[in-house]
Structure 1
Amino acid sequence: MVMRLISSSKSEILTMSAKELKEAILASEGRVIMGQHHVTLNTGLVDGATNTEIQAAFGADMVMLNAFDLADHAKNIGLYEMKSGRMAVEPYSVSQIKQWAGVPLGIYLECPDDRARVAGERYVEAKPGRVASKENLLRIKDIGADFVVLGGNPSSGTTFEQIIAATRLAKETLGDDLLICAGKWEDGSIEKVLGDPLSERPAQDIIKELIDAGADVITLPAPGSRHGITVEHVRQCVAFTHSYKPGTLALSFLNSSVEGADVETIRLIALMMKQTGADIHAIGDGGYAGTPMPENVYQLAISIKGKRHTIKRMVSRAR
């Protein structure tokens, strides 16, 4: 029998298959916390620990690595360690970080479209090691990641057409070996994010296509962090996700750099996220050094799952 993810220890988590991880998230009844670590901005918030470990230590049940370069690991400076002001010779592997953090780790792959318009400058250029190609999907599996997230960073020209195609490719390439998360919660200046009432396409049509393409998790914006998005907008998307194909999960993402706000703001948004019915509640990397501040991860965790489960995650990573 699969344990709830929020109740699982490191030794239990590290042996979970993708199917078991999905069941463990579902069994947690909307209380799973996901952190996001941007691995090309800085070596880390503090010496002697990666941001991924810090997020898990403050209550995150999963961590997604953003901007991870699968073609050139030397660029992933967030997985290097700093000691006494000196940077290590090479980065730690995903498998090693997962052992230390004790939580499932995933990789964010971008789905840009060179033809897509963006508002202002296109300042995020597609990099071969970060896009959703078959080669990179196989690399993700090889390095020991547990899930892949398909989307796009702000101003990268992400389109649903590309995300749906990438989801289909991921399912064909990975099968059921990794959890596939897909959707759009950012890069919505021209083509709107899922749930935005100004979108040219109904959100339900897009969600249906993503699920039919093989998505296990639909990623959505969080009310209160994405402008113009309300609880009801996201709630409708979550309800359709859960009903169209029972067992499909929904994720609400607190981002737009609001993850760098004060803890009171995080608390208020967390309560709105809870009302959406999402299974996973994620917090972005827009703080310092490629991570939200630890107290904001902690606040999201205690607002969503209470101190009991937050403390358990903080201490059970060693078991």
Structure 2
Amino acid sequence: MVKRLLSTDSSEILAMNGAELKQSIKASEGRTVLSENVVAEAAGDGLTTSEIAAAFGADLILLNGLDVLKPAIFGLYPDEGAVVHQDGESIHRLQHLVGRPIGVNLEPVDPNADMAETRLEIPEGRMASEKTLKEAEKLGFNFVCFTGNPGTGVTNAHIAGAIKVAKRVFSGLIIAGKMHGAGVNEPVVSLEATRAFLDAGADVILVPAVGTVPGLDVDDIKPIVKLAHQAGALVMSTIGTSQESSGASYIESVAIQNKMLGVDIQHVGDAGWGVMSPIENIYAMSKAIRGERHAISRMARSINR
């Protein structure tokens, strides 16, 4: 049996497979923080955004905007900017630097989606496909997240299809759902879409945090949390609407509301500074859902343990 993520050392957590990571998060009883970071821009002083997020309490790191076919991460190799290294060790190096599980956003784009805004075209290496999922497996990612950035045309139906492919070719944790509309005329969340994700094999159902997407409240999200838990899946609430920069009081309010709903992971997005959430808000979320003791423990625990 695995230890709860709340109390794990880096050597223990990075040795976990997808099923073990899921159980470790479940055992932490709603006290897991995930920070999403843009990797294609500099964070400053030769550091990766992931290192900064980990330093302020993130348990899990989700990379956004990464082309898995050309994996370039700013700050990964000193004084080289965002250089693509062909040795296949980029993600292993990042795991070594931060001591945290690393995941990647792959977007299940629907070319025929009924768009509500101008479509944003993204490269093949950012889209969800058998090719990119096999590459994610090869690179050593601990988890993948099927969701959509603004305007990319990701649909719930294509998310369900991507999950089925991932179950065949990817061994890590699978997170799936929409943080916002992603430019498409369809409900962001629904019980129907959730059932499709669960039937396809998703390990974690992604939902917008209460207080982010207009009109979505506790009554909309609570049934999805219950359905996912009954099916043996976890739930991650997400702040993906630029409100990750709305201030500590907002972050704390959202964190407590969503913990009351029973979510297992709380996500804070990357749009605050354009690359990641302001660091004080990562800490505010961490402290709100698990208290100062565990927040400081995650920040201070050496990655060499």
From 192, 195, 219, the counterpart of 1:232: 219
- Cα shift readout 1:137-157 (whole Å, capped 9, x = no counterpart): 011111111001112111111
Amino acid at match of 2:104: I
Structure 1 pair 168–256 and aligned structure 2 pair: CA distance change class (3 A): same
Q: Report the Cα offset of residue 54 of structure 1.
A: 0.8
CA apart distance, 1:80: 4.2
- Describe the SS at the equivalent of 2:275: coil
Deviation at 1:23, TM superposition (A): 0.5
Q: Distance in 2 between matches of 1:237 and 1:13?
A: 28
1:191 aligns with 2:177: no
> 1:223–1:231: 8 Å Cα contact kept in structure 2?
yes
Residue 273 of structure 1 corresponds to which residue in structure 2? Answer: 258
Q: Does 1:211 align with 2:198?
A: yes
CA contact (8 A) 1:251 1:281 kept: yes
Write the mapping of 1:92-107 to structure 2, written as runs, cut at 5 A. Answer: 93-107=90-104
The alpha carbon displacement at 1:48 in A equals: 2.9
TM-superposed deviation, 1:78: 3.2
Output the CA distance in 1 between the equivalents of 2:131 and 2:118: 29
Q: How many residues align?
A: 300
Shift of 1:184: 1.4
Given that 1:156 and 1:187 are in contact with CA atoms closer than 8 Å, whether structure 2 keeps it comes out as: no
Specify the alignment match of 2:8 in structure 1: 8
Corresponding residue for 2:27? Answer: 27
Once the 2 structures are TM-superposed, how far is the Cα of residue 87 of structure 1 from its aligned partner?
A: 3.4
Looking at structure 2, the residues matched to 107 and 315 of structure 1 have their Cα atoms a distance apart, in angstroms, of 25
Partner of 1:59 in structure 2? 57
1:49 matched to which residue of 2?
A: 47
Unaligned runs of 5+ in 1: 195-202
Q: Report the TM-score when normalising by structure 2.
A: 0.93
- The letter of the residue matching 1:3 is K
Aligned counterparts of 2:280 and 2:268: Cα–Cα separation in 1: 12
Distance in 1 between residues matched to 2:268 and 2:82, nearest whole Å:
28
| 77, 81, 84: which one aligns with 1:87 | 81
Deviation at 1:49, TM superposition (A): 1.7
* Alpha-carbon distance in structure 2 between the residues aligned to 1:4 and 1:79: 30
Over 3 Å counting, the alpha-carbon distance change for 1:233 and 1:88 in structure 2 is closer
Equivalence for 2:156: 160
Question: 2: distance between equivalents of 1:119 and 1:89?
Answer: 35
Q: Structure 1, residues 236-271: CA drift from partner, whole Å, max 9, x if none?
A: 21011111x12x111100120000111111111111
Contact 1:34–1:63 under 8 Å retained in 2: yes
Normalised to the residue count of structure 1, the TM-score between the two structures is 0.89
Structure 1 vs Structure 2: percent identity of aligned residues?
Answer: 37
CA contact (8 A) 1:259 1:286 kept: yes
SS in 1 for 2:74: helix
Note the C-alpha offset of 1:82. 5.9
Gaps of 5+ in 2: none
The Cα shift of 1:285 comes to 0.4
